[in-house]
Amino acid sequence: MELSEFPKNIRPYLIPKIEGHLEYRCLGCSKTHSIDNLLYTCPDCGGVLLIHDLDEKKKTRCPGRQWRRIFDYRRMTTIPALKGIFSFHELIAPVIPLDHILYLGEGHTPLVEANQGLQNRIGVPFAFKNEGQNPSASFKDRGMACALSYLNHLISKKKLKNVLAVCASTGDTSASAALYAAYLGETIRSAVLLPKGKVTPQQLSQPLGSGAMVLEIPGVFDDCMKVVEYLADHFPVALLNSKNAWRILGQESYAFEVAQALDYEMEGVVLIVPIGNAGNITAIISGFLKLFRYGMIATLPKIIGVQSHHANPVYRYYLEPQASKRIFKPVKVRPSVAQAAMIGNPVSMPRVIEMVEQYNQLSEKQKIFVVEVTEQAIMDHMLLANRNGHIACTQGGESLAGLVKALSQKKVSRKERAVLNATAHSLKFAGFQEMYFQGTFPPDFGVRPKKGLQNDPVSAGLNKRDPFSDPRKLITQKEYNVFIEKTALKIMDLLGMST
């Protein structure tokens, strides 16, 4: 829509001003650090960082109602930099000029209501937010768009050369990092570290296709992360893991979009989120806190984190009801179909601990819970969802299994409605579906296929009379017609529709 057609009181705000005073704040020692340097941990104490906007007070003087109108109208503009997560520019990273923003089509993923049959079966209204419809087919693109846009901005501001970006990954981070780095072309090179044999073939093909250097490391994700941390501490490399606080900022857009899609009415809304490295749940909590401070929402929604019993450090931590007695202990992970969340020592744990407290306090009651689900439940619920028209990955299945668990534990009531994070596209994890359908799951997963959820191709061939059986033989028109007719009849027979 043309600028002149927007309401008069919206026009001056449609194109965001480049302003804001952002700084890193350490969760360990509370010291602040300038964002002019790329920092991943606090140089004083090694703690993890978050980015705060010192100008927020100024902005929250504008009423929440006006902010909602600005963001709603902005979706009708045609400027590419404002089409994705940066339609919420003021809330994310107002210091980045629009011409340094990368937009590859991330964000504004659809909220897809479950059909009536599935809602009845689960017992509560719910929708999936399809993060698999992001450009690299997972939610990681939200954070990456922000981190790479800021890196792009720093490179041009400081005239940096030969920038090397690195990350460790359970698969999707590397796919996303490599995609955005590839878009920047000569400006930066990217290297991704993957645990050998622990990412799916689809996830491995993505960074390779984007031209990144892909380094396979023996061990699991937690081991790759240690190597990457060493690299970031000792060499001038840009770290693209969620330790990078810019990624958290970008991922907050998920919360903004959910609020916008529900007309900012959060009463009775429950968000269900799988937890791995805990960056995503950190960002979602942080995003809703921001909307609350800006007066854009009146209630903080309930948030349920979900972990598999094979990788459950966050669940275990919150088993202790008294905050002062909780002790965080990393766990040794076991094989999980929710492979993208198979993490025993989540980097963002200090962020979660701090923000959960703040969230519950502001809500004046407990609004954040963590539930645990089995590998079996994850697979069964993923397949159930997809048989009802969804495109959930195994982690999306984990969200649905988590909703069922939370309902059974009365953490969610039948009067609420849920928004489930389907964090990636089902195609990335097709191998797990194949193992389920063919009954070839290695025993360590503890998954037993249920007949009713399995599906295999059925041969509609005609064995001996198949005219294609001898490739050297020419087929006559008559033989071909017979083949078509017989095949059609056989199909009707297989479908139980023959007369």
Ligand X SMILES: *Cc1c(COP(=O)(O)O)cnc(C)c1O
Residues at the contact surface with ligand X, assessed by CB under 6 A: 138, 140, 172, 242, 274-280, 340-341, 393, 395, 423-424
Q: Which of 169-186 are b and which e, b meaning 16 or more Cβ less than 10 Å from the residue's Cβ?
A: bbbbbbbbbbbbbbbbee
**From the list Zn ion, ligand X, none, partner contacted by residue 423 (C-beta under 5 to 8 A by kind):** ligand X
320 touches which of ligand X, Zn ion, none (CB within 5 to 8 A by kind)? none
278, 355 contact by CB (below 8 A): no
d(CA 61, CA 58): 6
Question: DSSP letters of 346-412?
Answer: -TTHHHHHHHHHHHHHHHTS--EEEEEE-HHHHHHHHHHHHTTT--B-HHHHHHHHHHHHHHHTTSS
Residue 475 site contact among Zn ion, ligand X, none (CB < 5 to 8 Å, cut-off depends on kind)? none
Tokens 């290297």 belong to residue: 191
375 CA to centre of own chain: 19
Please choose which of Zn ion, ligand X, none residue 172 contacts, taking the beta carbon within 5 to 8 angstroms, the exact cut-off set by kind.
Answer: ligand X
- What is the Cα–Cα distance from 289 to 316, expressed in whole angstroms? 25
With respect to ligand X, which residue has the nearer C-beta, 206 or 423?
Answer: 423
- Least separation in angstroms between residue 33's CB and Zn ion is 9
Closest approach, Cβ 79 to ligand X, in A, equals 29
42 touches, from Zn ion, ligand X, none (C-beta below 5 to 8 Å by class): Zn ion
User: Considering beta carbons, is residue 28 or 467 the nearer one to Zn ion?
Assistant: 28
Binding site for Zn ion (CB under 5 A): 26, 28-29, 42, 44-45, 47
Cβ-count burial of 463 within 10 angstroms (0-12 exposed, 13-18 middle, 19+ buried)? exposed
**Distance, CA of 353 to CA of 343 (rounded, Å):** 17
- The residue among 33, 55, 51, 52 whose CA lies nearest residue 42 is 33
Nearer to ligand X, 16 or 402 (CB): 402
Half-sphere exposure of 184 (CA within 13 A, CB side): 30
Name the minimum Å distance from CB 340 to ligand X.
3
Min dist. Cβ of residue 424 to ligand X (A):
3
* The 22-26 sheet, strands edge to edge: 32-34, 22-26, 49-53
> Which is closer to ligand X, CB of 153 or CB of 334?
334
Backbone angles phi, psi at 202, to 5 degrees: -65, -45
Q: Which amino acid is at 371?
A: V
User: Least Å distance between CB 410 and ligand X?
Assistant: 25
Q: How far is the CB of 283 from ligand X (least distance, A)?
A: 8
Tell me which of Zn ion, ligand X, none is bound by residue 250, counting a contact when its beta carbon lies within the kind-specific cut-off of 5 to 8 angstroms.
none
Rounded-to-5 percentages of helix, strand, coil across the chain: 45, 15, 40
Q: Measured from the CB atom, is 44 or 320 closer to Zn ion?
A: 44
Q: Which is nearer to ligand X, 79 or 227 (CB)?
A: 227
CA distance 326 to 318: 7
When the beta carbons of 44 and 493 are compared against Zn ion, the nearer one is 44
What is the smallest separation between the CB atom of 48 and Zn ion, expressed in angstroms?
Answer: 9
**Smallest gap from residue 334 Cβ to ligand X (A):** 17
Which residue, 70 or 275, is less far from ligand X as judged by CB? 275
Between 45 and 427, CB nearer to Zn ion: 45
Distance CA 487, CA 120 (A): 39
Q: Which does 277 bind (CB under 5 to 8 A by kind): Zn ion, ligand X, none?
A: ligand X
> From the list ligand X, Zn ion, none, which binds 207 (C-beta under 5 to 8 Å, kind-based)?
none
Residue 307 makes CB contacts below 8 A (sequence gap 6+) with 274, 275, 313, 314, 315, 341, 370, 371, 372, 373
Least separation, in Å, of the C-beta of 12 and Zn ion?
39
Contact partner at residue 44 from ligand X, Zn ion, none, CB < 5 to 8 Å by partner kind = Zn ion
